[in-house]
């Protein structure tokens, strides 16, 4: 590997020593590694948010960066431990438990290999399955990021059709309405990010300054219905007013100026959450 970037993500939080141990083992593999973090505050066992977080972050990192993502409600169980090579040239070391869903759909996975733990496992850890994040995932990620093992030596190829994945729907336009899913709550500010590219609004001749009817559902139950301004930034509205806008990855998002939108309306994101945007434009 050229850049030796190793990027961690987990649901471990910051109260224990788990993250520090992963750093330590990685530096034992190669002290010259450059180790960074996406976050260790993914909600516990939430592989959906882990999957989206990888998709949200990967595009910004140089080709060749190795990500280690450990959100694993099935820890210790016999599920595949894999390394994926994306079509953008990134590598993701993770349990095969849905964590690759968004990357697979929106970026594409070029090749998948199952970790051969007879070679790519921390020596002396063979009798324990309690900290695979350190003993298998971080260790393998560090060996690959350092260039000790090429991707081809991770393990045997896996059929891409067998990747464990959430069912991700595509946005669609019906008449003057665009319908999509709400995939994530953005950070501490509570904006909801959808899977609808802003180009879908362009197709409906929506312009900045237009007001749109927005309905948010959870499993067909209406949770929010207001007319909302479509603008470029939150400077277009007053404090406490809602705004539809283009987010950092080019999709439609909604938030409240200087307030937490999700908390204000008691909204969430992920499986079962959807959004409908209606315009009178043709």
Q: What is the mean pLDDT of residues 236-240?
A: 97
Return the minimum-mean-pLDDT range out of 39-43, 78-82, 147-151, 225-229: 78-82
Q: What is the pLDDT of residue 1?
A: 62
Q: Which among 162, 188, 215 is the end of a domain?
A: 162
**C-beta separation of 7 from 56 below 8 A:** no
Q: What is the pLDDT of residue 187?
A: 77
Q: What is the pLDDT of residue 67?
A: 98
Q: What is the pLDDT of residue 2?
A: 73
Q: What is the pLDDT of residue 217?
A: 98
Whether residue 248 has pLDDT greater than 70? yes
Question: What backbone torsions phi and psi does residue 185 show, to the nearest 5 degrees?
Answer: -95, 125
**Residues 160-174 pLDDT 10s:** 999 999 999 999 999
Q: What is the pLDDT of residue 78?
A: 64
**Residues 185-195 pLDDT 10s:** 987 899 999 99
- Are 143 and 36 part of one and the same domain? yes
Q: Is residue 101 part of a domain?
A: yes
* Domains: count for the chain: 2
Tokens of 150: 């090429």
Tokens of 5: 């970037």
What CATH number does residue 226 fall under?
Answer: 2.40.30.90
Q: Say which residue, 264 or 14, is predicted with more confidence.
A: 264
Q: Which among 135, 162, 189 is the end of a domain?
A: 162
Q: What is the mean pLDDT of residues 9-37?
A: 93
Q: What is the mean pLDDT of residues 137-143?
A: 95
- Are 264 and 193 part of one and the same domain? yes
- Are 271 and 227 part of one and the same domain? yes
Whether residue 91 has pLDDT greater than 60? yes
Q: Is residue 53 part of a domain?
A: yes
Contacts of 61 (CB under 8 A, 6+ apart): 5, 7, 67, 90
Question: What backbone torsions phi and psi does residue 141 show, to the nearest 5 degrees?
Answer: -60, -40
Q: What is the mean pLDDT of residues 59-66?
A: 96
Q: What is the pLDDT of residue 203?
A: 95
H or E segment at 29? helix 18-29
- Are 28 and 144 part of one and the same domain? yes
* Residue 19, burial from CB neighbour count under 10 angstroms (0-12, 13-18, 19+): buried
* Residue 162, burial from CB neighbour count under 10 angstroms (0-12, 13-18, 19+): exposed
- DSSP structure class, residue 132: H
Choose among 241, 239, 247: nearest CA to 226: 241
Q: Is residue 30 part of a domain?
A: yes
Whether residue 274 has pLDDT greater than 90? yes
For 195, the domain range is 172-278
Q: Is residue 167 part of a domain?
A: no
**C-beta separation of 128 from 135 below 8 A:** yes
Q: Is residue 254 part of a domain?
A: yes
**C-beta separation of 86 from 61 below 8 A:** no
**Residues 44-59 pLDDT 10s:** 999 999 999 999 999 9
- Are 59 and 40 part of one and the same domain? yes
pLDDT band at 74 (very low <50, low <70, confident <90, very high): low
For the whole prediction, is pTM greater than 0.85? yes
Whether residue 76 has pLDDT greater than 60? no
What's the rounded Cα separation, in Å, for the pair 153 and 150? 6
What CATH number does residue 85 fall under?
Answer: 3.40.50.10790
**Residues 176-221 pLDDT 10s:** 999 999 999 987 899 999 999 999 999 999 999 999 999 999 999 9
């Amino acid at each position: 590997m050229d850049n030796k970037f190793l990027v961690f993500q987990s649901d471990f939080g910051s109260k224990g020593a788990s993250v520090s141990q992963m750093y330590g083992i990685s530096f034992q593999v190669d002290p010259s590694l450059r180790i960074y973090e996406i976050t260790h505050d993914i909600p516990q066992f939430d592989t959906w948010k882990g999957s989206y977080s990888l998709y949200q972050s990967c595009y910004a990192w140089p080709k060749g960066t190795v990500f280690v993502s450990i959100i694993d409600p099935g820890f210790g169980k016999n599920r595949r431990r894999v390394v994926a090579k994306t079509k953008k040239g990134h590598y993701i070391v993770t349990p095969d438990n849905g964590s690759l869903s968004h990357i697979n759909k929106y970026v594409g996975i070029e090749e998948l290999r199952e970790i051969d733990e007879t070679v790519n496992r921390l020596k002396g850890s063979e009798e324990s399955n309690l900290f695979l994040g350190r003993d298998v995932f971080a260790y393998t990620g560090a060996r690959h990021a350092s260039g000790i093992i090429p991707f081809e030596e991770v393990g045997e190829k896996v059929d891409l059709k067998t990747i464990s994945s959430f069912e991700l729907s595509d946005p669609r336009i019906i008449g003057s309405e665009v319908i999509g899913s709400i995939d994530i709550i953005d950070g501490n500010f509570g904006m909801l990010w959808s899977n609808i590219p802003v180009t879908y609004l362009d197709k409906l001749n929506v312009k900045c300054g237009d007001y749109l009817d927005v309905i948010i559902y959870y499993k067909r139950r209406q949770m929010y219905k207001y007319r909302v301004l479509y603008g470029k930034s939150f400077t277009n509205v007053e404090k406490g007013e809602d705004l539809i806008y283009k987010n950092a990855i080019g999709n439609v998002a909604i938030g409240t100026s200087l307030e937490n939108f999700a908390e204000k309306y008691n909204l969430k994101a992920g499986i079962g959450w959807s959004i409908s945007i209606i315009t009178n434009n043709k």
